[in-house]
Amino acid sequence: MTRRTRTAHLAVYDTYADWETGHTTAHLAQNGFTVRTVGPTTAPVTSMGGLSVRPDLALAELRPEDSALLILPGASLWDSGDALAPFARTARAFLDAGVPVAAICGATAGLAREGLLDERAHTSAVSFYLAATGYAGGAHYTDADAVTDGDLITAGPTEPVAFAREVFARLGVYDEKKLDAWFRLFHDSDASAYEVLQG
């Protein structure tokens, strides 16, 4: 972790998929990061699971230099209009500033529409989901659980654990041995990995 700040920002907006980023935020918080939520405004939003969240700050207040990571969860709103387009534009500003962005599920479509996947290796739910956005990055689509290309991390909706693994690797949260153990424990239910994590 070379950045001075250890604050990760989790985007929250109505219909966001609350289960997709739980592993990521919980284990960042347990390893010395502060997780702050950022919404369209500071008015409460409601997740897909019915949880009400009052964002810590509004998107207009968010600056890349104050962040170690921007996390974009999926949401029904990514596929029903342009309401979340400002979050994709913010992702562009983060990537331009060299600050990592991690997008999962529908958020990958938002990044595709913004042109951020045209030249970067990436993944999503399925290739034709992104193709429907009309983006130009189909040749860079990778059929994998999660993909990291420089400062961009992408994953499909069924891979919250692989998504978290890629975030931890990019931010240097765990060394290679512990990262492998963490993934085996939470993805494969390998109880023997617990001892490695505690070591």
Residues designated catalytic: 105
Q: Which amino acid is at 109?
A: A
Sign, CA dihedral 38-12-112-173, equals positive
- Residues whose CB is less than 8 angstroms from the CB of residue 128 and which lie 6 or more positions away in sequence, other chains included: none
Task: Give CA–CA dist 109/88, Å, rounded.
Answer: 9
* Helix, strand, coil abundance in the chain, percent, nearest 5: 40, 20, 45
Cα angle 70-75-78, degrees, rounded to a multiple of 5: 90
Residue 13 near residue 40, CB atoms below 8 Å: yes
Provide the 3-class DSSP secondary structure of residue 142.
Answer: coil
Give, in order, the Cα–Cα distances in Å from 109 to each of 3, 96, 102.
28, 19, 13
